């Protein structure tokens, strides 16, 4: 999946732990490759030791070859060379196929529907952004790193003049404090509220704030930044989710 920074342990209510979350799309406790199996280099007990297959003495084949005329020798030698080349090409193809890297599959972002901050009668869902790249930022007014990050996020959004879509998710916060915070930081993008039990936040694997997710037009997570995002990361992430190569 995309690059990640180390988890930043943010202060706040007890519902948010400081442990590092597992990246989306990964499973804990994946087993390593199995050991054992037959080695192709082992000699079979039925090979009969020395001698050609079927028990024919090795000198007989050589004598038969010498008994052929010049054209016969050339035909046998040419056929053997052609077979050797064919076997080598097949082996090379098998090796190339086996060493090919699997295509990267980005995890799909979980769906949600949350009330707009300060407007409980209005809701925003992921489905409303269908076909559009989206940046989702999880924050809270009581989070110290968020107090440094949110003004940067707000300036980045204003500088793009609608060319980038951002959704803020205020986590486990009081409405009054959150509204005062977004007004102070001049946030112009929509913000939804995710109070306890924080269903959306936990569905994204967020246990420490802030965190930012970059979703492509199919709403697959192509990049995730844990702790305060930088302007360089915002620019790179916005370009990444708009790239034609990240449409799947």
Q: What pLDDT, in 10s, does the model give residues 212-222?
A: 999 999 999 99
pLDDT at residue 100, rounded to an integer = 57
The mean per-residue pLDDT over the stretch 77-87 comes to: 48
Nearest by Cα to 169 from 149, 188, 195, 148: 195
Structure tokens at 137: 């930022």
List of E strands, the chain: 113-116, 119-125, 134-139, 166-171, 191-194, 211-215, 221-226
Beta strands 166-171 and 191-194, pairing class: parallel
Mean pLDDT of the chain: 74
For tokens 């064919």, name the residue. 86
- Predicted pLDDT of residue 54: 44
pLDDT of 159 strictly over 70:
yes
Q: Is the pLDDT of residue 198 over 60?
A: yes
At residue 156, does pLDDT exceed 90? yes
Whether residue 131 is predicted with pLDDT greater than 90 in this model: the reply is yes
Residue 71: pLDDT band (50, 70, 90) is low
Q: How many CB atoms lie within 10 A of CB 11?
A: 12
d(CA 166, CA 175) in angstroms, rounded, equals 20
Residues whose CB is less than 8 angstroms from the CB of residue 16 and which lie 6 or more positions away in sequence, other chains included: 10, 171, 172, 207, 208, 209
Say which range, 20-24, 38-42, 174-178, 200-204, has the weakest mean pLDDT: 38-42
């Amino acid at each position: 999946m995309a690059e990640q920074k180390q988890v930043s342990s943010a202060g706040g209510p007890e519902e948010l732990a400081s442990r590092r979350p597992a990246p989306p799309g990964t499973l804990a406790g994946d087993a390593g490759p199995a050991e054992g199996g037959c080695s192709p280099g082992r000699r079979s007990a039925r090979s009969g030791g020395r001698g050609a297959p079927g028990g024919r003495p090795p000198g007989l084949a050589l004598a038969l070859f010498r008994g052929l005329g010049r054209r016969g020798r050339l035909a046998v030698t040419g056929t053997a060379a052609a077979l050797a080349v064919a076997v080598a090409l097949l082996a090379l193809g098998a090796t190339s196929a086996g060493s090919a890297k699997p295509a990267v599959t980005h995890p799909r972002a979980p769906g949600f529907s949350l009330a707009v901050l300060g407007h409980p009668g209005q809701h925003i869902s992921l489905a409303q952004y269908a076909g559009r790249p989206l940046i989702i930022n999880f924050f809270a007014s009581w989070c110290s790193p968020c107090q440094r990050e949110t003004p940067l996020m707000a300036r980045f959004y204003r500088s793009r003049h609608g060319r980038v879509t951002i959704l803020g998710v205020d986590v486990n916060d009081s409405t009054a404090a959150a509204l005062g915070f977004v007004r102070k930081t001049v946030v112009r993008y929509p913000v939804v509220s995710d109070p306890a039990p924080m269903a959306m936040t936990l569905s994204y694997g967020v246990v420490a704030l802030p965190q930012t997710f970059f979703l492509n037009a199919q709403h697959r997570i192509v990049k995730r930044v844990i702790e305060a995002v930088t302007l360089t990361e915002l620019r790179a992430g916005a370009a990444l989710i708009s790239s034609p190569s990240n449409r799947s």
